[in-house]
């Protein structure tokens, strides 16, 4: 694990977080564009985890990942000048798909910067949705820095993958669906990269059911948010060393980090080997394809098996965008 170093004091982001009312407004705006995803209890998975496990199947979204909720809601809220200028963002793949898909739905030009070694399946999908793709940088943060500079120089509306209240409000609709379908839920486990998914659940779940336990999950090789949560300071890491690109963040984002510091009950680190085991377990017991980030909550549930025993637990399967070669390697030798 990267050394955490001293970090720096947390300074709240200068925009107010979305409220529960904002999330209900997002759900109204998304009606007809995003359908509620299934929340399914798979008996074989329950036996493997030792708890009443319900899986929120965000891998069944039109782009294969939860982020479409935030992207569509944000695009719906842009003003005429912002739409005319076009949008630019950076992504390891899933956020880029969300922006590209949503921009196409609203007739907006989109540019997406991606790391040079980004998942080719996701990059291909971004292009297929009509966005211009710019491969640049060794990782997400270098691509992000380029996109931010380009937005400043050319006047595009920069869409940050996490520091966007409308994205968090859109993603928060997941928790509305969870709590309506499963009011007895005792714990919700959520993968954390940039943190928008956990932040969205925090806004809703802690408002509607304060006793529910919110557990964020990161990869051991990309623990920036977890280290920051533990230290109550902002801690960056020199690298994000995990195959799960949805978890590859080495710089915490202040907007989502603020909500996580306030509302997350626990942060759990899991190894890449545990994530691979969880991907295989989901295939075997639930017949669901999960990418690394999407399987991370299952990996955490395995690690927390004794503490979660007998409890009603929701596992957010955030996405299922796995390249065929990676899936082939996973099935053959457990190493995507």
Catalytic residues: 67, 318
Q: Write the CB contacts of 218 (distance below 8 Å, at least 6 apart in sequence).
A: 191, 192, 193, 224, 225, 226, 247, 267, 268, 269, 270, 296
Q: Does residue 276 sit in helix, strand or coil?
A: helix
Q: What are the beta bridge partners of residue 317?
A: 57
Q: What are the beta bridge partners of residue 191?
A: 217
Length of the chain, in residues: 336
Q: Are 294 and 322 in contact (CB under 8 A)?
A: no
Residues 113, 225, 260, 314, CA torsion sign: positive
Total Cβ atoms within 10 A of residue 3: 8
Q: What is the Cα–Cα distance from 50 to 44, expressed in whole angstroms? A: 10
Q: What is the Cα–Cα distance from 232 to 217, expressed in whole angstroms? A: 17
DSSP at 65: B
Q: What is the Cα–Cα distance from 12 to 249, expressed in whole angstroms? A: 19
Q: What is the Cα–Cα distance from 314 to 333, expressed in whole angstroms? A: 29
Total Cβ atoms within 10 A of residue 135: 13
């Amino acid at each position: 694990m990267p050394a955490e170093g001293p970090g720096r004091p947390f300074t709240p982001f200068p925009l107010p977080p979305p409220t529960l009312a904002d999330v209900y407004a997002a759900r109204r705006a998304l009606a007809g564009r995003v359908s509620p995803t299934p929340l399914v209890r798979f008996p074989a998975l329950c036996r493997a985890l030792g708890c009443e496990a319900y899986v929120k199947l965000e891998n069944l979204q039109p782009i294969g990942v939860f982020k479409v909720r935030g992207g569509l809601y944000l695009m719906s809220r842009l003003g005429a000048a912002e739409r005319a200028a076009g949008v630019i963002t950076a992504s390891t793949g899933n956020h880029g798909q969300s922006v590209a898909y949503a921009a196409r739905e609203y007739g907006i030009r989109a540019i997406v910067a991606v790391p040079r070694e980004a998942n080719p399946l996701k990059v291909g999908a971004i292009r297929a949705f009509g966005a211009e793709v710019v491969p640049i940088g060794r990782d997400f943060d270098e691509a992000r820095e380029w996109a931010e500079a380009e937005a400043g120089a050319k006047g595009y509306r920069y869409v940050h993958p996490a520091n966007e209240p409308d994205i968090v409000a859109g993603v928060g609709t997941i928790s509305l669906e969870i709590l309506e379908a499963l009011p007895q839920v005792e714990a919700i486990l959520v993968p954390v990269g940039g943190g928008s998914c956990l932040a969205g659940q925090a806004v809703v779940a802690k408002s509607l059911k304060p006793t529910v336990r919110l557990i964020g999950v990161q990869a051991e090789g990309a623990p920036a948010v977890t280290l920051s949560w533990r230290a109550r300071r902002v801690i960056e890491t020199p690298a994000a060393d995990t195959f799960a690109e949805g978890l590859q963040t080495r710089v915490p984002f202040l907007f989502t980090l603020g909500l996580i510091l306030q509302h997350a009950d626990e942060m759990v680190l899991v190894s890449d080997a545990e994530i691979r085991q969880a991907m295989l377990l989901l295939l075997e017991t639930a017949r669901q394809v999960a990418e690394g980030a999407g399987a991370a909550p299952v990996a955490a549930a395995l690690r927390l098996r004794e503490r979660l025993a007998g409890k009603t637990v929701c596992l957010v399967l955030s996405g299922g965008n796995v390249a065929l070669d990676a899936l082939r390697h996973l099935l053959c030798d457990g190493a995507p």
